[in-house]
């Protein structure tokens, strides 16, 4: 098995490097590229996608897979998992013609650029032609993948983001949460109305000062700028690779907290990437265990740790010191401000309780788009009806509705369930971490995330893709996904 496996490892190392280059081109498009660079960037991304597809579908790779697998099971669980993931990647690639791979990359890049302008103007009609093409190609890709994998079209796209999770697994979890929300939201709103409405910090918060403060938070969380950058983009994200991490955020001079929590969220992603097993770098088993696992790591930092009373008490003192003393930065007020329950239009600004409703809406709509039950021209109306049914609100324009997220317009269908699956996993991981770390609350009160991030590094980050989503949860917490842990967390925080 050794020679065939070694050849496979070399090929997948090359694939990973191509993927890193693709990721940096996407980061550059979001953070640095001038507007006129869009068409050329689309060609660059398409060529890279085509090269990766050629490697994965080459007869030599198939022959090496067959030879390696014919040798029988490997006693090393990491090598065995790596080979299994290689096989799955090759199977997905062979399902889709190279011409379609490049067409998808070009269409997604072109639509994403158009979306940026359309979002600013709340003009869905402007992006509709390019989005219609993105949906057409995504459906074609989903059908081809589904046929090869024995999955439905939407499940085949979900498999690209969180292997092992299907729509049928998500539906009962989301239906359960919808029932929980129907009971919990009115009660949480009633409780929030009893004390005076929290006071928002006054004054202007210069972007340069915010940025410097965010850099300090990143370093305090344990991420070195020797392997990371912080830049600006329309939509905050974390990209790059474990030794070259790219975090972006956006700043609002009237609201410093927006950037602070966005950066803490993205730093959770960054720490996961940085902590992946170096011995398996640029191999499938050395990558993160899917996007739901990734979201669990951003949310355990941002929501589970950094919105606790303990951490907010420390954060308020730091904000007063950096900007100006303000009663709004007091621990009690800051806690009510950062954990305020409020029905709103924007997913990324939503509180923990209502956030899953935004994800449930997107899950249902994107599934319908891929399976043909919803056509692109009808998306705005379906969006408005869906958010009204879930939260009782209707956006005044499409900028606050179906145009707010980048994901569909860059072709990322099947991604959205990962957000709430990640939130639920984060609650389960935090429950286990608290039991293992009796001094955690005291550390958070000193602004010290290292006990938690150190525990995550050893128990989650270092596992790479040795386990899938539920396998990782079993390994760390002793059980697969248990939505009750998330509901218990929300009940303690908002209903007690």
DSSP-assigned letters across all residues of 414-431:
T-THHHHHHHHHHHHHHH
Sign, CA torsion 141/146/147/149: positive
Angle between helices 38-57 and 59-70 in degrees, nearest 10: 40
Find how far residue 300's CA is from the centre of its chain: 12
Asked if 46 and 102 touch (Cβ cutoff 8 Å), the reply is: yes
CA proximity to 371, closest of 88, 96, 151: 151
Q: Is 266 a catalytic residue?
A: yes
DSSP-assigned letters across all residues of 330-383:
SHHHHHHHHT-----S-GGG--TTTHHHHHHHHHHHHHHHHHTSS-GGGHHHHH
Asked if 449 and 480 touch (Cβ cutoff 8 Å), the reply is: no
3-state secondary structure 55-124: HHHCHHHHHHHHHHHHCCCCCCHHHHHHHHHHHHHHHHHHHCCHHHHHHHHHHHHHHHHHHHHHHHHCCH
Q: Which of 22, 266, 273, 302 is catalytic?
A: 266
216 CB-near residues (< 8 Å, 6+ apart): none
196 CB-near residues (< 8 Å, 6+ apart): none
By three-state DSSP, how is residue 234 classified? coil
CA proximity to 159, closest of 146, 147, 173, 177: 146
Distance (Å, whole) CA 359 – CA 72? 42
Supply the residues annotated as catalytic. Answer: 266
């Amino acid at each position: 098995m050794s020679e065939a496996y070694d050849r496979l490892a070399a090929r997948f190392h090359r694939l990973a490097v191509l993927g890193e280059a693709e990721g940096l081109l996407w980061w550059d498009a979001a953070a640095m590229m001038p507007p006129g660079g869009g068409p050329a960037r689309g060609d660059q991304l398409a060529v890279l996608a085509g090269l990766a597809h050629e490697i994965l579908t080459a007869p030599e790779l198939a022959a090496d897979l067959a030879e390696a697998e014919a040798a029988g099971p490997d006693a090393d669980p990491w090598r065995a998992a790596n080979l299994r993931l290689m096989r799955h990647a090759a199977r997905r690639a062979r399902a889709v013609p190279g011409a379609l791979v490049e067409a998808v990359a070009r269409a997604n890049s072109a639509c994403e650029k158009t979306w940026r302008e359309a979002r600013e103007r709340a003009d869905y009609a402007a992006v509709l032609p390019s989005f219609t093409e993105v949906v057409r190609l995504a459906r074609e890709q989903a059908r081809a993948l589904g046929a090869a994998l024995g999955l439905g079209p939407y499940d085949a796209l979900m498999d690209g983001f969180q292997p092992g999770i299907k729509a049928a697994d998500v539906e009962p979890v989301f239906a359960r949460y919808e029932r929980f929300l129907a009971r919990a939201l009115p009660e949480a709103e009633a409780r929030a109305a009893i004390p005076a409405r929290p006071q928002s910090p006054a004054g202007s918060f210069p972007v340069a000062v915010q940025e410097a403060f965010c850099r300090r938070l990143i370093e305090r969380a344990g991420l070195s700028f020797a392997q990371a950058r912080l830049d600006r983009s329309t939509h905050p994200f974390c990209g790059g690779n474990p030794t070259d991490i790219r975090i972006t955020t956006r700043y609002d001079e009237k609201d410093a907290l927006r950037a602070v929590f966005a950066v803490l969220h993205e730093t959770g992603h960054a720490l996961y990437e940085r902590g992946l097993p170096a011995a398996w770098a640029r191999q499938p088993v050395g990558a993160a265990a899917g996007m739901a696992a990734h979201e669990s790591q951003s949310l355990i930092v941002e929501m589970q740790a950094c919105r606790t009373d303990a951490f907010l008490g420390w954060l308020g003192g730091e904000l007063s010191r950096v900007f100006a003393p303000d009663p709004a930065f007091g621990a009690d007020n800051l806690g009510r401000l950062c954990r305020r329950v409020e029905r709103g239009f924007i997913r990324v600004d939503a509180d923990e309780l209502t956030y899953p409703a935004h994800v449930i809406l997107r899950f249902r709509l994107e599934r319908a788009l891929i399976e043909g039950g919803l056509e692109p021209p009808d998306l705005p109306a379906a969006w408005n009806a869906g958010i009204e049914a879930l939260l009782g609100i209707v956006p005044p324009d499409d900028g606050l509705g179906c145009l707010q997220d980048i994901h569909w317009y860059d072709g990322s269908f099947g991604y959205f369930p990962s957000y709430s699956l990640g939130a639920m996993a984060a609650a389960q991981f935090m429950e286990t971490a608290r039991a293992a770390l009796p001094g955690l609350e005291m550390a958070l009160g000193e602004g010290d995330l290292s006990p938690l991030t150190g525990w995550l590094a050893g128990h989650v980050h270092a596992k790479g893709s040795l386990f899938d989503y539920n396998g990782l949860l079993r390994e760390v917490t002793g059980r697969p996904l248990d939505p009750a842990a998330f509901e218990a967390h929300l009940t303690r925080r908002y209903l007690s």
